[in-house]
Every structure is written in structure tokens, then in C-alpha cells.
Amino acid sequence: MSLDEVQDVRTPDAAATPATPATPATPDIPDTPGTPAASPKPGAWAALRPLLLRVHFYAGILIAPLLFLAAATGLLYAGSWQAEKIVYSGELTVARVGESTVPLSAQLTAARATVPGGKVVGVWPAPDSESTTRVIMEVPGLEEGQTRTVFVDPYTAHVNGVLTTEGDALPLRAWLSEFHSSLHLGEFGRNYSELAASWLWVVALGGLALWIGRRRSRKALLVLPDRAAAGRRKTLSWHGTVGLWAVAGLVGLSATGLTWSKYAGENIGQLQDGLGGATPSVSAALTPGSEAGSDAHAGHTGHTMPDGMEMPATPPAADIGIDRAVAAARAAGVTHELRVTLPAKGNGYVIKEQDKQLPVHLDSVAVDPADGRIIDELRFADYPLLAKLTRFGIDLHMGKTFGLANQIALGALALAVMFLVFWGYRMWWLRRPTKDRALSVGRAQPRGAWRKVPAAVLLPLAAVTAVVGWFVPLLGISLVAFLAVDVLLGAVAARRAA
């Protein structure tokens, strides 16, 4: 979707045309050179298009660097899943597949001996015959959200290695995740990614409307680049068709990215809860009034937050042990990629599935540590629809749902954004008034386009914009800032003209 969809109908190549005064919005010309421009059909679209062009132009010019940065870091994150398997193969895989595994309790003993000062907060049994068991430990001195993970060979109880992790992410992916979400600038840095996500859907949908609304000589040019075109028209053709194919994915990335953003994410969470779509959690309380389970929005605050990870306090006096607890969970149908949270005071074991590839396995149970009785169970099938959609959307954004295919698709979308930004700036450059002014650039759509929009369209549009700007705060604040700067520049230009 173009940073510079504005067509200059004075000549086929505006880059070779001397500068002329700005003129009112002109209609699109057909994609076949030499075809005369026709008068626009009267109506709401003809009046709305110049306004959309101006918003799309300025949003692209000012937000495109953030979009490019988010896409580049997202591309690295999409590849981190496979890179992680290569870099940490020694920790993640066993040296030799044995005939039988040792009890989880023995694997826990080996992990505790390796990290004497650590407190075990979770155990992730080996998900397949070639993987190691992960023992998650809380260790003093680590940053918030970090744990020490001990990788244990389930056949021999030999410790393959120890790494500092964040959720399910090993150091490489954890670093790239933070780089993508905040550029390692802390809370301040998160504003960059939220601002990019806030504008991505606006730029994408606005560009889609502009591209579909163009008149063209052949319908195929809507979905395929015009190979006969040259110069700026060729760049526009590639920009529009690639944007058309990518728009659904870009809107999806924007929506899911906003769910764990700082400001818009809080509003989305409140709306979801208000509509009865909060993510439920299994209750592990052993006594009435005890609180258990995870926060309804756990896992929505960042790429590496584990689902339902709890820090246990004093363990209960009577404990059947992790092996019998896991056996009870398996007997209850909780079997795929288990995550075991050890019992805390007043709480039992929490055992959850975390297989997020389709078909998903996300059931969970709570087990009484005294006798192995199932205290509570929660099936993913019983989740509210909104909770299911949120789960699917976030996992698609992170590259989990379809595994490698999902990660390749994310990489393709990231590359698409980077090329769209490049093509947009190139069109802006090619539309400069004259080649003699090497540092000049193309002009934006003239001011005052909103005055031509019928009141029946303008007033509802303004109301929707205000609501969206309140719900997505960084979008609203930046839009007001854009308008203020535009008014100031207009005033300066008018004063100079006078």
C-alpha cells in the first residue's frame, strides 16, 4: 500500500516534469500509457479519496521507519525457532535414545544437585523420545522473568546443560524477542512496537482501499504486477499488488500484536473480559477461599511468558510425588507436552498441556498432592470463543500454530513489509518536481481534502476515528500530533505566500 498513491496526471513520468503549483485531487489514470484520464464519478468515494490519500501519505512517511524496524526484528524472531534448535542442540536433544526413562523424581534430584541454590518451580517432561526434560528453577540474582533451566537426559538423568531462559525461550530467542518488542530499551522501547502495530492496520487497509479504487485497463493488474510498466508506475504496481496479497496477514499481525501491548492491550483485555471472553484457569486450591491458577491474560504480555507458571512457596506436608501426579494427569487425558507446576502451600499440582500446533492440546488439571485425586480440570474445548480466538491469534503471531510453515509465512510477511516501505519511499523520491533538484521529494495531497467530504460521511468517520483513537491510545495521540504539525505547516506556508 503506497506511501505515495497520489498520481500526477500531468505527464507519464512526474520525475521529469518541472514543478507546478499544487492542484486539487485528480482522478487515477488507467494503467495503460496513453489512455486519457476520465472525470471522476461523483460520490462519497471521489470526495473521500483525497483525504485518504493524504492520511496514507503522511502515515507512510512518518510511521514507515517503525514498520520497517518491526518487520526486520520480526524476521529475525521468526527464524529464531529453527536457529534455537541448532545452537542449543546439545541441551535440547539426548545423546542416545534409550529403552526406558528414569522417574521424573530422579531427574529432579539430578537438576537440584547441579544448581544447589535453586528452587524448582516447574518441570517440563521430555515431549518426545529425542528431547530432554526441562527443570525450571528460580535462582537469586536473575532479572525479572528469568529462570535457570536444567536440561536432563530422561534415559540416564545426566544433565546436558544449564541455561538462563525466559518462559520457553532459550537465550537466543529470548534476546531476539526482547529486541523485536522493545529494542532492549525497556518500557520506553515498547512504545515503538505498539506505535507500529497501532498504525499497521490503518496503513494496510487504507492502501487496500486506494489500490482497489483505482481504475485500470485490465482486471488482472489488480492482483498481478504490470510488467509492461516502467519508472514510478512499475514501482507502484509492485507496491500495490504485494500489499494486496499481504494485507490480511498484516492486519492480523497488527491486531494480535496489540493484544500484549502496554496501552491498547489493557483496553483489549478489559473489553475481552467484559464480553465474557477472559481466558479461564484451572483451580488448584486445596482449601476454600484459596487462590490458585494463573492470571486470565498470562502469556499476553510478551513473546516468552509461559502459560500458568507459578512460583511455589512452602510445599505441602503430604506429597505423592511428581511421578504419581503426572500419571494421574495422563489418566485424565492430559498427555501432550506437559508443563508441571509443583504444589505450593494450599495448592496442589497444576499440570497443563502446551501443544499449540493444530490440533491444539491445551487441557489442564489440578492434582491433590495428598492422594492424587483430580481437584479440578479445564478443557480447551470449554474456553469461551474469544479466549480461543485470542490464543490462536497470539500463537500464529509467534509462529507456533503451524510450526515451520507458520514461521516461513511470518518471514514472508516481514519481507513484504520491508519491500513495501522501500517501494513507498522510492515512489516519493521518483515523484520529485525535477531531476535538477536532487534532494527534493514528491508533494503530498493538497490540504483541505476533508472539506470536500459530505457531512453524512465525514461526521461518522470523525466519530469512529475518535473512538478508535481512544481505544488505541498511541494511534490517537500520534494522529493528533500529525494534525497539529500539519496545521502549523499550513499556517507557515500561508504566511509566506502572503
Q: Which amino acid is at 147?
A: T
What does the pLDDT read at residue 446? Answer: 76
Residues of the chain with pLDDT under 50: 1-42, 289-313
CA quadruple 191, 196, 201, 205: dihedral, nearest 10: 140
pTM of the predicted protein model: 0.82
What does the pLDDT read at residue 179? Answer: 97
pLDDT tens for 12-66 read 343 333 333 333 333 344 444 444 444 444 477 888 888 888 888 888 888 999 9
Sign of the Cα pseudo-torsion (331, 333, 336, 342, in order)? negative
Q: What is the Cα 217 distance to its own chain's centre?
A: 37
Per-residue cell: 25 = 485531487
Report the alpha-carbon distance of residue 300 to residue 304 in Å, rounded. 9
Per-residue cell: 192 = 515503538
What does the pLDDT read at residue 48? Answer: 86
Report the alpha-carbon distance of residue 398 to residue 409 in Å, rounded. 11
How many residues would you count in the chain?
A: 498
Q: DSSP code of 261?
A: S
What does the pLDDT read at residue 288? Answer: 54
